[in-house]
Amino acid sequence: METILIADDDTRLLKALTIRLEHEGFTVITAQDGYQAVAAARRDKPALLILDINMPAGSGYSVKERIEQNPELAGTPILFVTGDEHAPAPSTMGANCALLHKPFETSQFLDAVWQALGYPVDQLAAKRA
């Protein structure tokens, strides 16, 4: 199955999301700051990046900018997660970006992941049934 990179400075959330995605069959790599996220993405070339917007050593936005400069990673889907209710709308972040506000339900998170990876919404509903 596909590899997903999760970058978040909240270690409890990082662990919980990792467990849930591994249960879905994904390979998960993690980072706790922007610098680690960029290094891991360059090394492992994940199919999806899940980035906290506010984290040390580079926000999710700065990670996105650095990733897009790499031809091998440009266009990689990004799911931003944030507790900031004033974060910009996904439409202003680019075509391959989505936004999920914390706290979120597991089903919301998984649906967002599958959608970011290009699975149709109707297939997601059938998968959950």
Domains of the chain are 3-128 (3.40.50.2300)
Looking at per-residue confidence, does 94 or 105 come out higher? 105
**Model confidence pTM above 0.75:** yes
Q: Rounded distance, CA 59 to CA 93, Å? A: 14
Q: Rounded distance, CA 85 to CA 41, Å? A: 27
pLDDT for the residue 92:
65
Q: Is the peptide bond before 103 cis (omega within 30 degrees of 0)?
A: yes
The contacts of residue 122 (CB under 8 Å, 6+ apart) are none
Backbone angles phi, psi at 2, to 5 degrees: -75, 160
Tens-digit pLDDT profile for residues 26-66: 999 999 999 999 999 999 999 999 999 988 888 888 899 99
Name the helix (H) or strand (E) containing 21. helix 11-23
Name the helix (H) or strand (E) containing 11. helix 11-23
Q: What is the CB neighbour count within 10 angstroms for residue 7?
A: 26
The contacts of residue 41 (CB under 8 Å, 6+ apart) are 5, 49, 63, 67, 70, 73, 76
Q: How confident is the model at residue 119 (pLDDT cuts 50, 70, 90)?
A: confident
